[in-house]
Amino acid sequence: MNRAAAINSPNPRPATNDPVGIAGLLIVLVFLLIAVSAWTGLSGQNWASIEGGRWEAPSAQYWLGTNRLGQDIFARAVQSTATAFETGLLVAVVSSMLGALLGGVAGWFSNGFVDELILWLKGVLDSIPFYLFVAALAFAMKGNPWAMHTAMILTFWTGTGRLVRGEVMRLRNQEFVISARAIGLPEFRILLRHVLPNTLHILVVQAALVFVAAIKTEVILSFLGLGIQDGISWGLMLAESTQEVLAGQFGNFIVASGMMFLLLMGFNMMADAIQDRVDPQGGMV
């Protein structure tokens, strides 16, 4: 089904009334409020303090109990939520911008040397096992607080770049581009100011997907000791839980894995709704 037929379909999917998307948005907003409370200092600031006893049960003072060192699991979970949002937002924004720029240039100069060079770079990055490449980069830059973020940005842009390249190749022959050329606008100005803004629907969806992927990758790398070095994250909490579970203590494991599951589920639900909203004909043939 083509775009016109999809839009004029008698039963279009009402993305704005999508209960799944709304539920996902509410979940994300709840976690965002938790992250904001950590950023503003309202909660989670004592995540590293050793104030309680070993493996204390949930109480009025320690809502989710304490770990084997006596640290407040609730405070650590709140600060870990802030870490997840910081990582996800930074990687999603920067990698989407990089993918839009490289994909746009490749599509604008398709079948030329620049396009071939960018496609070669993308092919090289895609041919390397993803987690192995990210772990290798993070390990090589160990000690640098931005090592993990840099590694993810260098790998996550390729998917966005591929989609933007295809969309730019389609747009470059549209009437508004031909008109811009006719009045003498420079090629890069046409690309940056008139063509790339029309790929926003791709960038929004891709940024949401990269956000989810970045959080999952951060948790895995932190669990392996290659991620967060000077803070706390769900990955570090899960790493701690490997020793605690053997002793029959599941507080860290349940809280970290449960919060990660809820946030990623909410963001995936919201991303699906966004995709239906900005690309109503998606999935139709």
pLDDT bucket at 1, cuts 50 / 70 / 90: very low
CA-to-CA separations, 207 to 8, 58, 64, 93, 146, in angstroms, rounded: 28, 37, 32, 7, 19
DSSP 72: B
Count of beta carbons in the 10 Å neighbourhood of residue 191: 22
Q: Is the pLDDT of residue 5 over 50?
A: no
Can you tell me the mean pLDDT for 226-236? 87
pLDDT, residue 129, reads: 82
DSSP 194: I
Burial of residue 4 (CB within 10 Å: 0-12, 13-18, 19+) is exposed
Give the integer Cα–Cα distance in Å for 172 and 151. 32
Q: Where are the domains of the chain?
A: 33-41+61-278
Strand partners, 72: 66
Tokens linked to 247: 């002793």
Scan for tokens 């494991």, then name that residue: 253
The model's pTM = 0.84
What digits encode the pLDDT tens for the residues 172-207? 888 888 888 888 888 888 888 889 999 998 998 899
Topology given in CATH for the domain delimited by 33-41+61-278: MetI-like fold (1.10.3720)
Q: According to DSSP H, which parts of 53-199 are helical?
A: 73-108, 113-127, 130-140, 147-171, 175-182, 187-190
pLDDT bucket at 266, cuts 50 / 70 / 90: very high
Q: Is the pLDDT of residue 124 over 50?
A: yes
Backbone angles phi, psi at 66, to 5 degrees: -125, 165
Scan for tokens 């709704």, then name that residue: 273
pLDDT bucket at 243, cuts 50 / 70 / 90: confident
What digits encode the pLDDT tens for the residues 66-114? 998 889 999 999 999 999 999 999 999 999 999 999 999 999 988 889 9
CB-CB contact of 65 with 53 (8 Å): no
pLDDT, residue 167, reads: 92
Tokens linked to 225: 């000791």
Q: Which residues contact 268 (CB under 8 A, 6 or more apart)?
A: 24, 212
The residue with greater pLDDT, 3 or 90, is 90
CB-CB contact of 203 with 95 (8 Å): no
pLDDT, residue 7, reads: 39
